[in-house]
Amino acid sequence: MRRIKIKFMFMLVFIFSILMHVQVYADVPYNGYTYDAYGRSVPTAISYEPDKYLTGDDIGVGALKSPQDMFVSDKNEIYILDSGNKRIVILDENFKVKKVIDKIVTEKGEVTELKNPNGIFVTGDKVIYIADTENARVISINEEGKIQRTYTKPTSPLFPQNIDFKPKKVIVDKSDDVYVIVDGVYQGAVMYDKDSNFTGFYGTNKVELDTKMFGEYFWKTFIMTKEQRRSTIRYVPTSFTNFFMDKDGFAYVCSKYDTSKSNVLKKLNSMGDNILRPSKKVLGYGDLETARYVGNEIKTSLIDVSVDGEGFINVLDNTRGRIFQYDQDSNLIAIFGGKSNQVGTFNSPAAIINLKDKVLVLDNKRGDITIYGLTEFGQYIHKAVKLYNDGLYEDSMEPWKEVLKRDSKLEIAHMAIGKALLKTGDYKGAMKAFKLGYDVKDYSKAYGQYMAQIVRKYLSLIVGSLIAIYVVWMVIRRYKKITNKKSMDKENLYGAE
């Protein structure tokens, strides 16, 4: 009887422990983690959690059918490209329907249909650009659905004529130049001027030579037969998967996993040069650790990028359904999302966009939008990063300390605190913080300052003692000389005697 009682007690404890475990993690269906300086994943607190989850029925426009892209205009209106239903749904910032464009009319007044469109962009004066993929065109329409301009396959010999023209994504800059990502075009984004003339390519990804490629080149040229060579993969630059234009007119482009992991995300200026300047050496974007599954390496493949008003860069990884957030110095800020069927994870994520500090992710298989908001931890990080990136290192101390209360190992927090201490002249404290933040360059700087400080502090002492020794030595020598002379005089004296 007693034994049964004990057993029962144990069982109760066991069940309770399971229940409590579930309670702790039930609100978010993913684990918070980040990558340390060595590229190893380490657990951290969760900085984004799903606030809301919207289907087409929730919005009130009927189910969305494989929606492919989203856009948030500068007036915070959300444009959803509902590809399967051949329409565009426009919501206001509270997710209420503002307008649905389901009829598109050409300049001549004929009705035309979208066919599997993949990209949408809206300019400041509400001109909507759509990459109408299967129709091989990019169109710009006004809010009534009337086509303003059509951009088609360039006839220029510069453009590869042997491929089907399949525009995937489109962005437009301030001077109404249109940039289009076309499937199979690896020269870069196709560029049109505002009169829909082809003007060239933008932001080419370069093939970077590495030892593996060199070895394969050797193998191909000297060992393989012509037939074998023909069937091997050619090294061409990876084409962009998506891009985004921020409010300052810089284009952020992402590409699928490449040989060089740090090149999958770029910030391009108008010349097409990468101006993303990481503060530390960047090991890569997206998941740094890869898994193997049935002999295949499961790698990150970035399919969308979005930058919010504060400059936080969000990229969406299609492989694992995760969102990675970076600041302008390429420091990893947050990782969230995942693949499953719970709220906060995705089946097949397609597009990501920012609405103020919220992150919206579109799932094209489920046809829904997940809206993420910052947790307390995330809010502190954002506040701190903002102050830090503005150069207000001392002001950022307070929020960073709050962040460290919640994750005492977060490297970026230690790094930032180190910078603040360095500025205030606490070199020893800065060194300690930089060590915890694995910031070698700044540690070296702080150490140099610290050494200089020590030398300065003791310089007078050292120089003073040196002078003192010299003086004493001189005095002794003088004295000896005198005594010597005296003794010599004495000797002489005796000698003379």
Partner 1 sequence: MEQSKLMFYTMFHPLQGFEEIKLNKKGSIRLSILILAVWFLSAILDRKVTGFIFNTYQIDKLNILTLLPGTVVIFSIWVISNWGFCTLLDGEGSFKEIWIVSAYALVPYIIFSLATVFLSNFLTLEGGVFLTWIFQFGKYWSIILIFLGLYEMHQYTLKKTLWSIMLTILGILIIIFLALLVFSLYNQVIVFFRTIYSEIIFRL
Residues binding partner 1 (CB under 8 A) = 38, 40, 435, 440-441, 443-445, 447-448, 451
Q: Where are the beta strands (DSSP E) in 195-281?
A: 198-202, 240-245, 251-255, 265-268
* Separation of alpha carbons 47 and 337, rounded Å: 11
Q: Which is nearer to partner 1, 299 or 435 (CB)?
A: 435
Least Å distance between CB 206 and partner 1? 27
Least CB distance to partner 1 at residue 425 (A): 18
Residue 438: CB minimum distance to partner 1, A: 9
Q: Cα–Cα distance between 136 and 168 in angstroms, integer? A: 10
Kindly state the smallest distance separating residue 439's Cβ from partner 1, in Å.
10
Q: Which is nearer to partner 1, 13 or 440 (CB)?
A: 440
Contact between 77 and 90 (Cβ < 8 Å): yes
Q: Which is nearer to partner 1, 159 or 450 (CB)?
A: 450
Q: How far apart are alpha carbons 433 and 167 in whole angstroms?
A: 49
Q: Residue 358 and residue 361: Cα distance in Å, rounded?
A: 10
Given the complex with partner 1, which of 152 and 449 has the nearer CB atom? 449
Residue (420 or 431) nearer to partner 1, CB: 431
Residue 456 sits at φ, ψ, to 5 deg, of: -65, -40
Taking the complex as a whole, the smallest distance from the CB of residue 375 to partner 1 amounts, in Å, to: 29
* Dist. CA 165–CA 480, nearest whole Å: 101
CB atoms within 10 A of CB 69: 27
Paired tokens of 397: 């101390």
Q: Would you say 441 or 481 has its CB closer to partner 1? A: 441
Task: Round to whole Å and give the CA distance between 91 and 173.
Answer: 23
313/326 Cα distance (integer angstroms): 5
Provide, rounded to whole angstroms, the least separation between the CB of residue 44 and partner 1.
17
Q: Which residues pair with 54 in a beta bridge?
A: 369
The angle, 0 to 180 degrees and rounded to 10, between the axes of the packed helices 376-389 and 393-406 is: 160
What is the spatial distance between Cα 367 and Cα 82, in angstroms, rounded to a whole number? 9
Q: Which is nearer to partner 1, 44 or 325 (CB)?
A: 44
| DSSP helix/strand/coil, 465 | helix
What distance in Å separates the CA atoms of residue 485 and residue 497, rounded to the nearest whole number?
Answer: 18
Cβ 330 vs Cβ 269: under 8 Å: no
Q: CB of residue 433 vs partner 1: minimum separation in angstroms? A: 12
At its nearest, how many Å lie between partner 1 and the CB of residue 448?
4
What is the SS3 assignment for 359?
strand
**Residue in the block written with tokens 């086509």:** 147
Cα–Cα distance for residue pair 273/269, rounded to 1 Å: 6
Which helix (H) or strand (E) covers residue 252, if one does? strand 251-255
Nearer to partner 1, 2 or 40 (CB): 40
Structure token pair of residue 177: 């130049």
Q: How far is the CB of 464 from partner 1 (least distance, A)?
A: 24
Residue number with CB closer to partner 1 (401 or 441)? 441
Q: Which two three-digit tokens encode residue 56?
A: 């087409």
Q: Which is nearer to partner 1, 128 or 417 (CB)?
A: 417
Q: Using the minimum distance from each CB to partner 1, give the nearer residue, 257 or 443.
A: 443
Query: CA–CA separation, 77 vs 94, rounded Å?
Result: 9
Tell me the closest approach of the beta carbon of residue 451 to partner 1, in angstroms: 8
Q: Which helix (H) or strand (E) holds 98?
A: strand 97-101
Q: Provide the token pair at 336.
A: 């969230």
- Residue 434 CB, shortest distance to partner 1, in Å, is 9
